[in-house]
Structure 1
Amino acid sequence: MADELRELVKERRQTLGLSYQGLANAATVAAPAAAVSTGWLHRLETGEPVIAPSGPTLAALAAGLRLDAVRLREAAAAQFFGVRLPWAASGEAAEVAELVESLPERQRRALIDLIRIMAKDV
């Protein structure tokens, strides 16, 4: 079993400076119906067996981690079910998409325009 979700959650939680409790609280505030437990987070990050998260749990976790829910769903699908999108093999496309989304709108549009121009020259 791959560790895509485990690594993504652990890295992002640490980047945000959140404890397990802090992340669980942030996820619960974002989606009260989908509680994320500190025990589940700990087991996930330490590689212990965990039950695959539900869609609502992943959405809550994405909100708590301030990540796109699609990215978390893809990581969960890869880790728990071995499902990988062909473009995500290197992880670069997902990283580029996340970086583009983090740009201010004006810069994002300029970058997309540049990519379109460069793609025409290929």
Structure 2
Amino acid sequence: MAAKEETPGDPERRTQFADLIRNRRKQLGLGLDAFAQKAIDPVSGTRVTRGWIYRLETGEKVTPPEFEELRALAAAAELPVEALQDAAGSQFHGRDPLVTGSPVSVAYVRKLDRMPPEQRDRLLAFIDTLVPPGEGEDQ
């Protein structure tokens, strides 16, 4: 029997979430143990184990994280939970946030990509004054 040819669209080949977690952990200078100790959801107290993070980062199969686990990982990574939701949706469900968002939000994001970084940062800071991070988050 011929070996199955893997294509870039295969779910096993998607690594957006694992890459985000691994790269952010390294940026913060944290080992697996220290990162896992910080991976506690501030609302529910849900923890993400060192073993799960290790399996994720090394490409082993893991159960997709629940929202509370995403919040725990966001706390450890010091990132907005939305960034983790988008990456997890891409890796575990093949969901492209630019395709599945509303047409208006997709149009705005595409415009953001064409802006110089300094203007983009100023615009995002302004948006944060209108809708502070954490308000109106989908759960």
Normalised by the size of structure 2, how large is the TM-score? 0.62
1:77 aligns with 2:89: yes
Distance change >3 Å, CA 58–CA 108, structure 1 → 2: same
Q: Which residue of 1 aligns with 2:70?
A: 58
Which of 15, 31, 48 is the aligned partner of 1:36? Answer: 48
Matched residues in 2 for 1:79 and 1:29: separation? 21
Shift in Å at residue 21 of structure 1? 1.1
Q: Which has the higher helix share?
A: 1
Query: Hey, what's the Cα distance between the residues in 2 that align with 1:15 and 1:41?
Result: 16
The aligned runs of 1:1-122 (5 Å cut-off) are 1=11, 2-28=14-40, 30=42, 33-86=45-98, 87=106, 100=121, 108-109=125-126
User: Once superposed, what is the RMSD of the aligned Cα atoms?
Assistant: 2.8
Taking the aligned partners of 1:47 and 1:5, their CA distance within structure 2 comes to: 11
Contact map agreement 1:9 1:65 (CA 8 A) in 2: yes
Gaps spanning 5+ residues in structure 2: where? Answer: 1-10, 99-105, 127-139
| CA distance in 2: counterparts of 1:32 and 1:17, whole angstroms | 26
Q: Please give the TM-score of this superposition, normalised by the length of structure 1.
A: 0.70
The number of residues matched between the two structures is: 99
Whether contact under 8 Å (2:24, 2:77) holds in the other structure is yes
- Superimposed CA distance per residue, residues 81-111 of structure 1 (whole angstroms, 9 cap, x where no aligned partner): 111122589xx59xx7xx83xx7xxx934xx
Question: Which residue in 1 is equivalent to 2:130?
Answer: none
Relative contact order (alpha carbons < 8 A, sep ≥ 6): 1 or 2 greater? 1
